[in-house]
Every structure is written in C-alpha cells, then in structure tokens.
Structure 1
C-alpha cells in the first residue's frame, strides 16, 4: 500500500523531560484536510510540532512524499514544502499586511507576484488593507495574514495550530471556508483545532488524541457519528 503524502509514524517524544507523545501517528494525503482534536493537554499541538521538526523524537519517523525528513530542521522542512502557522505571535505587527506577505516568500528566488495575487483573491480584505499595519487588524484578519504568509512559500502541506482561536463563530466559518478552498488547490492541510465539532465537519480525516496517544482515527463524518466520540469529546 502506498504511504500517505505526509506521515508522522509512531511518534514518541517531548521537550526534554517526560514524553508527551506515545507512539502517535498522524497522516494526511494530498489535497486532504486532516484535523487533530482532543481534550486540553492531549498533545495536539505537540504532535503538530513533532511533524514540523520542533521537538526531537525518541521514536518513530516523519516522511514527506516518501522522503524521510525526521532529522531535518523546521527551516529545511519549509524548503521541502511545509508551511506552519503557529497559534500566536504569527505576524509582524509593525509591518504592513503586504510586507508580512512578502516576508513569506523569503525562501523563493522567483517572482512571487502571482502568488500574492492568489492570496489576495483568497482573502480580499487583505488587499483592501495591504498598506495598513498588521497589528491594527482584527483577530480574524490577523489569522488571514498568517495563513497568507505561509501560502507565499507555495507549500505542499499547510499546518495550522488552532487557526480559529479567539475569533467569532462567523469569522471561524469564513476561515474554514478559505481552508477548504486551499485544500481544493491540492495543498494538504493538517490542523489542530479546539472547535472539534466544526473542524470535523470539514475534515476528510480526524485524529482524536488523549494523553499523547491515538484514541480514535477515522473520517471526519465517522467520528462525528461515533456515540463515544460525541459523548466524550463533542459535548453529546
């Protein structure tokens, strides 16, 4: 059987002390949306960071498009086609919207004007506010800048850590709509999300983590329909 496009297989490790992840496996196919959900402290963001190379694994491996990238730095993974949007401190507040987006193209040597135009098509409000300091934007608009900047690297995989944290339900729905649009272009989306029910509704694949280990893995629809998942993790 062919391997998934991106896979963190049997990942075990933490930040130096006790292990946070215990044989955790997360995978996403090309153009697919995979969502990691679970209770607070379940290791969701840690699993994402492990896939991106932000902690050393004591066990397991990470492969992208068949290539073992377990030992590569996060910077090297960006060059391989991984984009990562952290939950906080993900924009340069004193720089304009457009300068933030241009910073996203730092690894590119070609003309990025077409990609910038695509980002503005995806997030029209950013085009309107392109000369405004990013720090003056609303929370939802800041998240659009952060996602847009990651897209400027032309990633094969876009990784989002709590993209809807602190935004209103209307803004959350709009961000999820944009994420679906990004996936339709063939980019794989791997997302950690606190709003589990809404995230699973748009997910091709869902991972429920508990204490750093896989508890449930299935399609988003199947997890939404699972009585135990609903009762324990989705509020009934």
Structure 2
C-alpha cells in the first residue's frame, strides 16, 4: 500500500507546555481528494489541522507530505513544500483591494502571477467584479472567497481550510463547497475542518470524527453519513 499524499501520523501534542490536546490522532488524505474533520466543540479539530501545518509541537507522531517527513519544519517552510492554510478569522487584509489581497498571496513567487489571478477570478467570478474594492467592504462569503483565492495564489499542493463556511448563509455555503470540489478536481488536496458536518461529509472522500483529540470514527463521507452512531451522536439523528 502506498502512503497517503499527506498524513499527520499518530499525532500527540498541545500548545506550548500545556496539556496534550491530540492523543494518537491520525489524519490522512490522498492527492486531489477532500478530507473533512468533524466532531463536537472542543474535540481538537482545528488543533489537528494546525498540527499538520506545524503550528504546535508534537510530542510524538509525524507529519509527511509525498513521503517526506516535515515534522520539524516551520509553517513557513511547509508553505514552500506546497501547503496553504486559511484560518477561520483574520484571513484577509481588509484595507487592501481584492486584487491586492491576491497579489499578497503570491509574495513568495518569482514568476508571472497573472494567469493564476485569472484562474481565481474564473473560480470566483464575483471577485473579478469587485477586484478594485477593499476586501473589508465585502460580505462574509465574499471575504472567504478572497481568503481561499489568496491561498490558491501560492499554487499549493494542499489547501487547508479551518471552518470555511463559518457565519455564511446556507446558499453561500453550498456555493463555497461547490468551488472546493472544483479545486480538488484540479488536483489540489483539500483538508478542512467544518462545523456543518452533514454538508461537509456530503462532499468528503474521507471523513474523520474526532472526540477529545482522538479518532472516534473514520470512513468515507458516505459511510459516516450512514453510520447510525455517527448520525445519532454528531449529526442530530
């Protein structure tokens, strides 16, 4: 069996010198697939993703991308390896225009970024219309599109999204999920944490239900949606 494209393998750790939040937690996703982490509040979902991105120290376990051990790398060095992370909040520059936000996403690049900007505008047409507008003036859903677009400007292999649909309307949520599917179809691996568990598992190739920082249930999105215990405990019946 070949190893998944990205894996946080048996991760145990927490923030600083604090108590462990993750306990032998494994999160993995294949190339061009969508992995979703769900679970109750305080389950360690965002912490698991931040651990994969190098934002907390692991006491045991490892993170590998394309078979390469990156456990010791900083988040900045992981970006250079092809990882992009979109936090839940403070994920845009509100006083900059939409296009300036996208340009900021490409600050590490030395090539012509115009083609990538056009690809982002093709994915999110509303951003083309509002490219000269300050990002802080946009709706919540549009700001999320700017944040995702800016991450895509790095031409990532892995796109990591922390609660991408938090605070947006159901219609905007469905549209964002449709765009996320498009990104995955382009060959970019998606790892996301999502409170809207039913809708997220609907588009997930693989889902992880975490409880108290440990793996409680793992399966395809469809399997988890059909699992009676998962439905009863996490999906409201």
Specify the TM-score bucket, using the shorter chain as the normaliser.
over 0.9
Q: TM-score, normalised by structure 2?
A: 0.99
Counterpart in the other structure of 1:79? 80
- 1:43 matched to 2:6? The reply is no
Residue in structure 2 matched with residue 6 of structure 1 by the alignment: 6
Kindly tell me the number of residue pairs found equivalent between the two proteins: 236
> Which residue of structure 2 aligns with residue 93 of structure 1?
94
C-alpha separation between the residues in 2 aligned to 1:112 and 1:27? 30
Partner of 2:55: 54
Match of 1:169 in 2: 170
- Secondary structure at 1:153 match in 2: coil
Unaligned residue ranges in structure 1 (runs of 5+): none
Give 1:57 deviation, angstroms: 0.2
Q: Confirm whether residue 219 of structure 1 aligns to residue 198 of structure 2.
A: no
TM-score normalised according to structure 1 size: 1.00
Matches within 5 A, 1:135-214: 135-214=136-215
Superposed CA deviations along residues 160-211 of structure 1, whole A, max 9, x for unmatched, are 0000000000000000000000000000000000000000000000000000
Q: CA deviation at 1:29?
A: 0.5
Which whole-Å CA distance do the structure 2 matches of 1:27 and 1:149 have between them?
24
1:80, CA displacement in angstroms? 0.4
For residue 145 of structure 1, report the CA deviation from its aligned partner: 0.1
The whole-number CA distance in structure 2 between the counterparts of 1:214 and 1:5 is 19
Residue 233 of structure 1 aligns with which residue?
234
CA distance in 2 between partners of 1:216 and 1:197 (Å): 14
Q: Using the alignment, how far apart are the partners of 2:102 and 2:114 within structure 1? A: 11
CA deviation profile, 1:87-133 (whole Å, cap 9, x unmatched): 00000000000000000001111111110000000000000000000
Gaps of 5+ in 2: none
User: Cα RMSD (Å) of the superposition?
Assistant: 0.3
Q: Does 1:65 align with 2:69?
A: no
Structure 1 CA distance for aligned equivalents of residues 35 and 188 of structure 2? 12
Q: What residue in structure 1 maps to residue 103 of structure 2?
A: 102
How far off its partner does 1:59 sit?
A: 0.4
3-state DSSP of counterpart to 1:107: coil
- Three-state SS of the structure 2 residue aligned to 1:186 is coil
SS where residue 10 of structure 1 aligns? strand
List structure 1 runs of 4+ shifted beyond 2 angstroms: none
